[in-house]
Amino acid sequence: MARRRLSLLNHLHALRLAIFCTLFLGSFSPATTADQLELVIVHTNDFHGHIKEEKNYAGAARISALVSQQRKRHPRVIFLDAGDAISGTPVSTMFKGLPIFEVMNLMNYDVGLLGNHEFDHGYKEILKFRETANHPLLASNALDPEGNLIADMATYILEIKGIRIGFIGVITQKTPSMITPLGNAGLTFLDPETVVKEEVMKMRSDVDLLVVLSHLGHEEDKDLADAVSGIDLIIGGHSHTYVNPPVKIDSTYVTQAHRYGTQVGLLKLTVDTDKNSVTQFSSRLIPAASLPLPDPVVLDRVNFFEEQVEDLVDMEITRSSRKMSASEIQAMFEKVLSHTAKADFGYYNSGGIRDSIPAGSITARHIWNIEPFANSLVTLKIKGSDYLKLLKRERESHPSTKSISTEKTYLVATNSFIGAHAVKAFGTAVHMNDLGILVRDVVIEHIKNNGLE
């Protein structure tokens, strides 16, 4: 009986409280607590075909092991790449990039980006990359001659356990000056800021987190963050910049993870899905040496592809008593090309020197990694004044300029990339002769016979 009386009193108390709330507080109800959800992002950029572990490059298998480790520890993990996945190693060059995307499939990337080097074999080859890759390849501002997107899509939305993440892909507008004209005629690269601003306006209200995958370069990424509001995170590439910690501009974090897999980016965010904002953020770049042991499945596939080229590239061609600087390598290439072509002098663009020559054993692979683009040796008959303009276009100074007469015509030995851009710039005023031999083959043969003189 006492329990029934107590229960009745409790019901009466609850009823009085409900009447009070109705009379004095109207339809007020307590605000719900926002969902604070943790997200982990692993990111790479400018991998350039370095699927094999060597020197201070992690290789695909160890990077994959990190991603698997994070996915076991956290419920929400995404894996992103910011472009230039190909071009830089014998495996990539010999098979026109396709093995790199096969390996990336085993690494389980979620979203990728087209960089300028994805155009190295002509833009139509990108269709093969898209068909091979299991993840979408983005680029919102790269159009084919008919005005269609070259990438899979401009933007992409990924939902992962309660978080809707929007991605916008963007590539540098300077791409035409960085890629071979062969197979890339008639392409259009729209202004990145304008395109990103338009896409942000379309997407912002539909996503909890907005990420730009950028192949603009770090300084340009910071400019983009300053110019366009509404972006939570810019994961960049192209400039090969070591960004640790990320830069914060207003409410946008900007980061980049160096190049070649020397570093892997790891971000941890807390996303407020009610307010569509980042409430907590931490990050670090993990050096290759600190990554877990290789993923055996990925390693097996890497080894399969490397076996296809090792007989050709892993043979010693000389030894070096010291590490050579990039400028010394450039001068050596120019000397070899000039001698082979019997030219007045050689010119090799510094941007074409993609790796280094260490002390110790030097293999053909070292030269392949320095010149991974399969450029051929060409000569240019070019007027001195046009040659100086060409250097200016390449934003380079060069020792040859000290003795150039603007009125004289010279025979210059160079690579087919520079030759094609010279013809594009100066038309019939320049005569190009392709000697039909690869630059790297010329250099390898010279080093075999003469060493690194």
Q: How many CA atoms lie within 13 A of 60 on its CB side?
A: 30
Cβ–Cβ under 8 Å, residues 208 and 165: yes
Q: Encode pLDDT of 305-363 as tens digits.
A: 999 999 999 999 999 999 999 999 999 999 999 999 999 999 999 999 999 999 999 99
Q: Encode pLDDT of 248-270 as tens digits.
A: 999 999 999 999 999 999 999 99
What average pLDDT does the segment 372-381 reach? 96
Q: In sequence order, what DSSP letters do the residues of 198-240 get, joined into one string? A: HHHHHHGGG-SEEEEEEES-HHHHHHHHHH-TT--EEEE-SS-
- Rounded to 10 degrees, the C-alpha dihedral 402/408/414/418 comes to 100
What pLDDT score does 395 carry? Answer: 82
What pLDDT score does 441 carry? Answer: 96
Q: Encode pLDDT of 404-447 as tens digits.
A: 999 999 999 999 999 999 999 999 999 999 999 999 999 999 99
C-alpha–C-alpha distance, residues 387 and 411, integer Å: 10
> How far out from the chain centre does Cα 419 lie?
26
C-alpha–C-alpha distance, residues 185 and 326, integer Å: 31
Lookup result for tokens 């320049």: 430
Answer whether the bond into residue 245 is a cis peptide, omega within 30°.
Answer: yes
DSSP reduced 3-state for 37? strand
Mean per-residue pLDDT of the chain: 92
* Model-wide pTM > 0.85: yes
What pLDDT score does 32 carry? Answer: 30
Query: In the numeric block, which tokens belong to residue 416?
Result: 């087919």
Closest CA to 382 of 349, 350, 340, 418: 418
Domain architecture of the chain: domains with CATH: 36-307 (3.60.21.10), 315-450 (3.90.780.10)
H/E element, 167: strand 163-171
Lookup result for tokens 């979408």: 136
- Number of C-beta neighbours around residue 172 at 10 A: 23
Q: Encode pLDDT of 209-221 as tens digits.
A: 999 999 999 999 9
Query: In the numeric block, which tokens belong to residue 400?
Result: 């040859």
Cβ–Cβ under 8 Å, residues 345 and 380: no
Least confident range from 161-175, 263-277, 386-400: namely 386-400
The dihedrals phi and psi of 407, each to the nearest 5 degrees, come to -95, -15
C-alpha–C-alpha distance, residues 278 and 273, integer Å: 9
Give buried/exposed letters for 359-375 (b at 16+ CB in 10 A, else e). Answer: eeebbbbbbbbbbbbbb
C-alpha–C-alpha distance, residues 217 and 234, integer Å: 11
- Rounded to 10 degrees, the C-alpha dihedral 344/350/352/353 comes to 110
Whether residue 15 is predicted with pLDDT greater than 70 in this model: the reply is: no
Q: Encode pLDDT of 105-115 as tens digits.
A: 999 999 999 99
- Helices 98-107 and 296-307 cross at an angle (nearest 10°) of 170
Amino acid at 351: G
- Number of C-beta neighbours around residue 82 at 10 A: 31
Closest CA to 28 of 41, 18, 42: 18
Q: How many CA atoms lie within 13 A of 290 on its CB side?
A: 9
Whether residue 25 is predicted with pLDDT greater than 80 in this model: the reply is: no
First to last CA, the chain: 107
Angle at 276 between CA 275 and CA 278, to 5 degrees: 100
Whether residue 69 is predicted with pLDDT greater than 60 in this model: the reply is: yes
What pLDDT score does 34 carry? Answer: 52
Whether residue 6 is predicted with pLDDT greater than 50 in this model: the reply is: no
